[in-house]
A and B are shown apart, each in its own frame.
Chain A
Amino acid sequence: GNSVTQMEGPVTLSEEAFLTINCTYTATGYPSLFWYVQYPGEGLQLLLKATKADDKGSNKGFEATYRKETTSFHLEKGSVQVSDSAVYFCALAYNNNDMRFGAGTRLTVKP
């Protein structure tokens, strides 16, 4: 079945460090891929998305590229800030009735 696997956390980085959170997926066909972010006490917010192979989603300095050949959608940021501390979820969807989320990766950025 369709599924998403994320790197286990927690991840702790110093401010201005480079961030990579790995996400791989198993799916048939051509799902859309998403990264959502959850700040403490809040719901999930869309961070970025890509809807077809080789698309790059980007927002707030974060990037991820839809790699069909490696079935991956890794999240990257060149220089993290304390305000980026949150839980990050990778997700895939053929439609919203069948959206699959990864388990989430908690990121803590220290000053």
Chain B
Amino acid sequence: NAGVTQTPKFQVLKTGQSMTLQCAQDMNHEYMSWYRQDPGMGLRLIHYSVGAGITDQGEVPNGYNVSRSTTEDFPLRLLSAAPSQTSVYFCASSETSGRTQPQHFGDGTRLSIL
């Protein structure tokens, strides 16, 4: 059981470049989300999806796009990378968005923007 799989694990970009961070889950979870982790700030929600075809913004959505065409996949796109987007990015999923549902996290993508 792979759980939540993120690729790539590491990436270095130049300012202005675009890229897509991939996320896939094999647990048939309805809810998926993207967080960024910055030192001393915990995790902050970027975007989330409550099901295929449905996405919405979290706390820090600027500069990022998402789509959810299938239950399994939830890619995160950086349209024009900026140094402020240097961070560790985590994808997570849960059965539903309910308050008692724990989230399952991928191993993260460490992204550096030069």
Name A's B-contacting residues (CB within 8 A). 4, 31-32, 34, 36, 41-46, 49, 51, 89, 91, 93-97, 99-104
Residues from chain B with a CB closer than 8 A to the CB of A43 are 4, 90, 92, 105-108
Q: Are B43 and A44 in contact (CB under 8 A)?
A: yes
Q: Are B43 and A101 in contact (CB under 8 A)?
A: yes
Known contacts A41-B107, A45-B105, A95 near B40 by CB under 8 Å: no
Residues 24 to 48 of chain B near chain A (Cβ within 8 Å)? 31, 33, 40-45, 48
Contact residues of A: prevailing secondary structure: strand
Task: Pick from A31, A34, A97: contact of B48, CB below 8 A.
Answer: A97
Instruction: Give the interface size class of chain B.
Output: 20 to 34
Residues from chain A with a CB closer than 8 A to the CB of B41 are 103
18 contacts across the A-B interface (CB closer than 8 A): A34-B102, A42-B107, A42-B108, A43-B90, A43-B92, A43-B106, A45-B105, A46-B102, A46-B104, A49-B102, A51-B99, A89-B42, A91-B42, A96-B33, A96-B48, A96-B99, A96-B101, A97-B45
Task: Pick from A41, A49, A96: contact of B98, CB below 8 A.
Answer: A96
Q: Are B43 and A97 in contact (CB under 8 A)?
A: no
Name B's A-contacting residues (CB within 8 A). 4, 31, 33, 40-45, 48, 50, 56, 58, 90, 92, 94, 97-108
Residues from chain B with a CB closer than 8 A to the CB of A89 are 42-43
Q: Are A102 and B42 in contact (CB under 8 A)?
A: yes
Residues from chain B with a CB closer than 8 A to the CB of A94 are 99
In the complex, how many angstroms separate the beta carbon of A68 from the nearest chain B beta carbon? 15
Residues from chain A with a CB closer than 8 A to the CB of B108 are 42-43
Task: Pick from A44, A96, A100, A101: contact of B97, CB below 8 A.
Answer: A96
In the complex, how many angstroms separate the beta carbon of A106 from the nearest chain B beta carbon? 11
- In the bound complex, CA of A100 to CA of B108 (Å): 18
In the complex, how many angstroms separate the beta carbon of B39 from the nearest chain A beta carbon? 9
Residues from chain A with a CB closer than 8 A to the CB of B100 are 32, 49, 51
Chain A's closest residue to B38 (CB) is A103
